[in-house]
Amino acid sequence: MPELVIHTSVSRNKITPTVLTSLSKTLAGTICKPEQYCTVRVVPDQLMVFGGKADACAQATLMSIGHLGVEENKAHAAVIFEAVEKLLGVPQDRMYLTFVDKASSDVGYKGTTFHTIMGK
Protein backbone atom coordinates (compact mmCIF):
# COMPACT_ATOMS: atom_id res chain seq x y z
CA MET A 1 0.00 0.00 0.00
CA PRO A 2 2.85 2.49 0.46
CA GLU A 3 3.47 4.11 -2.89
CA LEU A 4 6.38 6.32 -3.87
CA VAL A 5 5.93 8.14 -7.18
CA ILE A 6 8.78 10.24 -8.54
CA HIS A 7 8.34 12.49 -11.56
CA THR A 8 11.79 13.54 -12.71
CA SER A 9 13.69 15.16 -15.54
CA VAL A 10 16.29 12.38 -15.28
CA SER A 11 16.47 10.31 -18.47
CA ARG A 12 14.95 6.84 -18.77
CA ASN A 13 18.31 5.16 -19.39
CA LYS A 14 19.38 6.01 -15.82
CA ILE A 15 16.36 4.24 -14.29
CA THR A 16 17.59 0.65 -14.12
CA PRO A 17 15.86 -2.29 -12.41
CA THR A 18 18.50 -1.98 -9.67
CA VAL A 19 17.49 1.65 -9.08
CA LEU A 20 13.84 0.64 -8.77
CA THR A 21 14.50 -2.27 -6.40
CA SER A 22 16.79 -0.09 -4.27
CA LEU A 23 14.05 2.55 -3.99
CA SER A 24 11.55 -0.19 -3.09
CA LYS A 25 13.77 -1.47 -0.28
CA THR A 26 14.33 2.10 0.91
CA LEU A 27 10.58 2.74 0.97
CA ALA A 28 9.81 -0.46 2.89
CA GLY A 29 12.54 0.31 5.39
CA THR A 30 11.51 3.87 6.15
CA ILE A 31 7.76 3.25 6.21
CA CYS A 32 8.14 0.02 8.28
CA LYS A 33 5.84 -2.04 6.08
CA PRO A 34 6.53 -5.27 4.16
CA GLU A 35 8.12 -4.67 0.77
CA GLN A 36 5.55 -7.01 -0.80
CA TYR A 37 2.99 -4.19 -0.38
CA CYS A 38 5.27 -1.34 -1.55
CA THR A 39 5.17 0.17 -5.03
CA VAL A 40 7.64 2.55 -6.60
CA ARG A 41 7.01 4.35 -9.85
CA VAL A 42 9.60 6.59 -11.46
CA VAL A 43 8.32 8.72 -14.32
CA PRO A 44 11.45 9.84 -16.21
CA ASP A 45 12.11 12.32 -19.02
CA GLN A 46 9.72 14.93 -17.65
CA LEU A 47 9.99 18.44 -19.01
CA MET A 48 10.60 20.17 -15.69
CA VAL A 49 12.06 23.35 -14.29
CA PHE A 50 12.89 23.81 -10.60
CA GLY A 51 13.85 27.24 -9.36
CA GLY A 52 14.01 28.55 -12.91
CA LYS A 53 16.66 26.01 -13.97
CA ALA A 54 16.25 22.89 -16.11
CA ASP A 55 18.95 20.89 -14.27
CA ALA A 56 18.02 17.47 -12.83
CA CYS A 57 15.00 17.82 -10.56
CA ALA A 58 12.06 15.83 -9.23
CA GLN A 59 8.61 16.01 -7.66
CA ALA A 60 7.72 13.02 -5.48
CA THR A 61 4.67 11.82 -3.58
CA LEU A 62 4.66 9.30 -0.75
CA MET A 63 1.26 7.76 -0.06
CA SER A 64 0.65 5.41 2.84
CA ILE A 65 -2.06 4.18 5.14
CA GLY A 66 -0.66 5.46 8.41
CA HIS A 67 2.99 5.71 9.39
CA LEU A 68 2.93 9.37 8.32
CA GLY A 69 2.87 12.45 10.52
CA VAL A 70 4.98 15.39 11.62
CA GLU A 71 7.91 13.42 13.06
CA GLU A 72 7.58 10.41 10.77
CA ASN A 73 7.62 12.62 7.67
CA LYS A 74 10.90 14.23 8.74
CA ALA A 75 12.49 10.79 8.99
CA HIS A 76 10.98 9.63 5.68
CA ALA A 77 12.15 12.82 3.96
CA ALA A 78 15.74 12.35 5.14
CA VAL A 79 15.84 8.76 3.87
CA ILE A 80 14.05 9.36 0.56
CA PHE A 81 15.94 12.53 -0.38
CA GLU A 82 19.24 10.77 0.26
CA ALA A 83 18.20 7.77 -1.84
CA VAL A 84 16.95 9.90 -4.75
CA GLU A 85 20.17 11.91 -4.74
CA LYS A 86 22.32 8.77 -4.66
CA LEU A 87 20.31 6.69 -7.14
CA LEU A 88 18.97 9.31 -9.57
CA GLY A 89 21.48 12.13 -9.15
CA VAL A 90 18.85 14.70 -8.16
CA PRO A 91 20.30 17.12 -5.57
CA GLN A 92 18.26 17.36 -2.38
CA ASP A 93 17.57 21.04 -3.01
CA ARG A 94 15.99 20.26 -6.40
CA MET A 95 13.09 18.10 -5.29
CA TYR A 96 9.85 18.37 -3.36
CA LEU A 97 8.24 15.45 -1.53
CA THR A 98 4.52 15.48 -0.73
CA PHE A 99 3.04 13.16 1.91
CA VAL A 100 -0.46 11.69 1.55
CA ASP A 101 -1.96 9.75 4.47
CA LYS A 102 -4.85 7.69 3.07
CA ALA A 103 -7.64 6.06 5.03
CA SER A 104 -7.65 2.26 4.78
CA SER A 105 -11.08 2.48 3.14
CA ASP A 106 -9.61 4.59 0.31
CA VAL A 107 -7.08 2.02 -0.93
CA GLY A 108 -8.13 -1.14 -2.76
CA TYR A 109 -6.33 -4.47 -3.05
CA LYS A 110 -7.38 -7.98 -4.13
CA GLY A 111 -10.95 -6.94 -4.93
CA THR A 112 -11.59 -5.20 -1.60
CA THR A 113 -10.11 -2.42 0.50
CA PHE A 114 -7.44 -2.42 3.17
CA HIS A 115 -10.19 -1.48 5.62
CA THR A 116 -11.61 -4.97 5.16
CA ILE A 117 -8.20 -6.66 5.07
CA MET A 118 -6.91 -4.88 8.17
CA GLY A 119 -10.22 -4.98 10.00
CA LYS A 120 -10.23 -1.22 10.56
φ and ψ at residue 77, rounded to 5 degrees: -60, -45
Residues labelled catalytic: 2
DSSP structural state of residue 20:
H
The answer to whether 51 and 94 have CB atoms below 8 angstroms apart is: yes
The answer to whether 102 and 64 have CB atoms below 8 angstroms apart is: yes
Distance CA 103, CA 69 (A): 13
Beta-bridge mates of residue 46: none
**DSSP string covering 41-55, please?**
EEE-S----BTTB-S
